[in-house]
Structure 1
């Protein structure tokens, strides 16, 4: 409960700080309400445990409504809050106070509930329908660029959505995406009789289980009077039958969203009572953007297991690491070890990998970029097809990371810089080609039209009207790509593609931190030198 109140105070504090800075309070009320609405449907709030850890289900507030119907007040309060906030004036402050305060009270009431037994009720077809809607919407967006084909595109979008839903709901879809079937689960109440029967069944099976435990020398089980005596788990038989032990007090990141945003609404309402003029015309749009950012970032932080306390626990290792890494061991003649010499050699190789990879990419990217420029490929259906093919190739090539390509080529041609050069060149073709083609599309049409009016051939137009305009940009983009490729080549060395990264990995694996730090220092120095040099060259060319 202390953590929940802290979340609430954080939200209030953020609203107060925004009010002091004369930010719009209505924006916070709208954004907080929309964010809570997303959290109500999509963010886990509590924990329900099965017999095994993989059987744990973290339900959303919507999934908990059958167990605690009072939670339905949250979307109702949000709708009322948004209605009042959009009307503006003095109603905004009261909307924030009533909406934020009411949502916080409902949330506190939920987390005060005792542990109880619930039954899972999968909602079949929900995730399949959502995936179909998203696909159909993505296809329908293409109609915005082709008004004349709007109706056919809408028809294709609807057909794609229907076919996707039917396939995902079939046995074929469940074969490839088994977790989608019944992914969203409601938690249904069971009553005291169900729990009593589960306890009786558990106690009845104890003698047989204890006989097995004694044979293998494990502690025996004791009879229980309530499922809460199992400390968070549930009997295997009950878990297999779809029952779970719901623990409202075990909060998930949805609690953070609910109470921080409720506190934000409450704080914005309180500030609005003092300063009712803190409103702006674009509050609805800003609030929607705010809610969208929160809805994306919170699950991302949770998925990446972002926990600062783990960094605190690992702090002694970092201290020990830097203690072992400093001072650098430049040479140890007695052991015939010369790290500085190795670093200089590997750094030169790293630069050469980046240089060759960038050069090869530029050779292929220059001619292909003319075929990927929209203004040069619209004369015929054939050229438009070539344009679509080249742009598609660029998108596919850019989608495959250099590190993945390096792993493939290391397996194909073996360890060494050749694999790194191939991976870097192939990936850089798409990046440079896209930049080159966009530069070609933005050239001044005057020189082109002047040459065409004299009857000049296409090659002459390309040589005298387009190349002089884009060549400085080509050089600038190539230099910039070389900077990126140098940094990438350091990482490629970690997977066996040679260079300074390979030296660093070897030193780390051997525990020679005082040698590894030399490589790190060398990278920092060379990166800065390349950056300053390429910046100077670009300033002279463009």
Structure 2
């Protein structure tokens, strides 16, 4: 698996090199990725007694236990340093850095399980948060050199204050997991493995009795750590600060490192073969590429992305489709008419979206003029209203329609009224922002011409601004109606009425052959609204 990931990274770099563009940027991205993954991403798994005691130590945390892993970040530094010279020196740095780092990592990942002990590093995570708070102020200080005297002290004060508060008992009350979160992995004391094996075998009889009661097969005594098939330590050993380090249990940090090292080696080979594949802005481009890639790996892990689960669940999906087809359009003998219900609820869904969009447009139209920067810059009172309206838009857009619907359902009860209110409240901010940006981008020529002849503000608005923005207002409103129709389907799932409410009721009752009628109706109406609004926009805009 490790070799496959490394070769995949090298193949990716080779594939990108076929475009004959700069390859050095990918080498830089790989090296920067290695340097960030080393202290930040979990490399392998380390388990305790309970599943919540499972840890994912980073490569930096594993250095006291496996010093040879230092070759991985050193390889990244070597590649990054030689990348500055370009050409074959950069290629050699990428090949050597990627190859040596891969060999060191592969040696560790293929090793056996080890008993290790943990040593928390107090204040490390609190300091990291403080540095993150300082970063924006450093950017401001370097970009606005005349105000460095202002931004730098403010940033240092905020960083120090954040660190002191987070590292205090009050900070640990609000963020308890931050205290001692980063833990170094140290070798266990001599003889600790024998103590672990003895403690495990001693409690095996009681453990097997419990397993027998819940229908699980009994476990056998072990001679060494390799016998821990389920990979769990005895409770006493785990509570003493020990963990079972499992190099074969790859974390997403190991996957990222193997890919980055492969990209470094592949890009290095390309530069050795063709030293001219570089550009002046490779450092900046590599930094951007590394940032994008580094954000992807933890996102996939956090969302538990696993195509294997879909493969395992495929029979259940097939069974669901079998029960949903053919659609049950009517049951006259039982007095059940699903098709008629779908038609009624679909009409209600369209009406919810229509009323919600109309109310939002009515409120967004006048307020958008107060949120336009070019119309409020000359008057202090209007300038204050501008900030208030922009603040309201930002707060309103930050609260999702579904959350508003849940609150309003509790306030006014189940039904379409809650959905209409939620949709209107949220859409005011979306439409208002679009309307105000359209106003800010109007042509200033007609405005200045009317102002030069002494026209009043209302006449300027009527004859210079509205003719330019009304077509855009219509387009934005129609587009918002399309979005609100889709949103109203989801609102029905929380009791706001419409076709979503019908689908949820059919699913809860197990009537999948009725639910599929609603899904088909949604697809048809969505396409109908899309074509109708596109035709209408082409006529009006």
TM-score (norm 1): 0.93
Counterpart of 1:403 in structure 2 is 402
Maintained 8 Å contact 2:24/2:282: yes
Change in 2 beyond 3 A, CA 1:142/1:84: closer
Counterpart of 1:432 in structure 2 is 431
Q: 1:167, 1:215 → 2: CA distance? A: 45
- Name the SS for the 1:186 alignment partner: strand
Q: 1:83, 1:375 → 2: CA distance? A: 49
> 2:181 pairs with 159, 180, 183, which one?
183
Q: What is the CA distance between 1:248 and its match in structure 2? A: 1.5
Q: 1:96, 1:337 → 2: CA distance? A: 70
Q: What is the CA distance between 1:346 and its match in structure 2? A: 0.7
Does 2:353 correspond to 1:349? no
Counterpart of 2:170 in structure 1 is 172
Q: 2:80, 2:211 → 1: CA distance? A: 62
Does 2:260 correspond to 1:248? no
1:60-98 CA-partner distances (Å, limit 9, x unpaired):
111100001111111111111112122111223222221
Counterpart of 1:308 in structure 2 is 307
Matches within 5 A, 1:371-450: 371-450=370-449
Q: What is the CA distance between 1:21 and its match in structure 2? A: 3.5
Q: What is the CA distance between 1:413 and its match in structure 2? A: 1.0
Counterpart of 1:280 in structure 2 is 279
Change in 2 beyond 3 A, CA 1:492/1:198: same
Maintained 8 Å contact 1:44/1:252: yes
- Name the SS for the 2:533 alignment partner: helix
Q: What is the CA distance between 1:306 and its match in structure 2? A: 0.5
Q: 2:152, 2:118 → 1: CA distance? A: 38
1:130-167 CA-partner distances (Å, limit 9, x unpaired):
22222233456567898876543443333222222211
Q: 2:522, 2:84 → 1: CA distance? A: 54
1:8-49 CA-partner distances (Å, limit 9, x unpaired):
221222223223333433222111111122221211111111
Q: 1:455, 1:151 → 2: CA distance? A: 46
Q: 2:4, 2:332 → 1: CA distance? A: 59
Q: What is the CA distance between 1:217 and its match in structure 2? A: 7.3
- Name the SS for the 1:90 alignment partner: helix
Counterpart of 2:19 in structure 1 is 21
Q: What is the CA distance between 1:322 and its match in structure 2? A: 2.0
Q: 2:105, 2:314 → 1: CA distance? A: 36
Q: What is the CA distance between 1:393 and its match in structure 2? A: 1.0
In the comparison of the two structures, how many residue pairs are matched?
Answer: 537
Q: What is the CA distance between 1:535 and its match in structure 2? A: 1.5
Does 2:52 correspond to 1:54? yes
Change in 2 beyond 3 A, CA 1:143/1:488: farther
Counterpart of 2:86 in structure 1 is 88
Q: What is the CA distance between 1:268 and its match in structure 2? A: 2.3
1:188-236 CA-partner distances (Å, limit 9, x unpaired):
1123233344455666x64xx8579769976998765444444422221
Does 2:462 correspond to 1:458? no
Matches within 5 A, 1:204-283: 206=203, 210=205, 225-231=223-229, 232-283=231-282
Q: 2:423, 2:117 → 1: CA distance? A: 54
Maintained 8 Å contact 2:113/2:225: no
Q: What is the CA distance between 1:362 and its match in structure 2? A: 0.8
- Name the SS for the 1:495 alignment partner: coil
Maintained 8 Å contact 1:8/1:259: yes
Q: 1:214, 1:33 → 2: CA distance? A: 52
Q: 1:496, 1:340 → 2: CA distance? A: 20
1:407-450 CA-partner distances (Å, limit 9, x unpaired):
11111111110010010000001000100111111112222222
Maintained 8 Å contact 1:329/1:515: yes
Maintained 8 Å contact 2:118/2:243: yes
Change in 2 beyond 3 A, CA 1:82/1:521: same
Change in 2 beyond 3 A, CA 1:255/1:139: same
Counterpart of 2:192 in structure 1 is 194
Change in 2 beyond 3 A, CA 1:429/1:35: same
Q: 1:200, 1:143 → 2: CA distance? A: 60
Maintained 8 Å contact 1:227/1:234: no
Change in 2 beyond 3 A, CA 1:200/1:323: closer
Counterpart of 1:511 in structure 2 is 510
User: Aligned-residue CA RMSD in angstroms?
Assistant: 2.4
Q: 2:98, 2:212 → 1: CA distance? A: 55
Q: Which deviates further from its counterpart, 111-120 or 336-345? A: 111-120
Q: 1:201, 1:534 → 2: CA distance? A: 72
Q: 1:148, 1:18 → 2: CA distance? A: 42
Maintained 8 Å contact 1:210/1:220: no
- Name the SS for the 2:519 alignment partner: helix
**Unaligned segments of structure 1, at least 5 residues:** none
Q: Which deviates further from its counterpart, 218-227 or 393-402? A: 218-227
Q: Which deviates further from its counterpart, 168-177 or 110-119? A: 110-119
Matches within 5 A, 1:482-497: 482-497=481-496
- Name the SS for the 2:311 alignment partner: helix
Maintained 8 Å contact 2:442/2:465: yes
Maintained 8 Å contact 2:74/2:97: no
Maintained 8 Å contact 1:406/1:497: yes
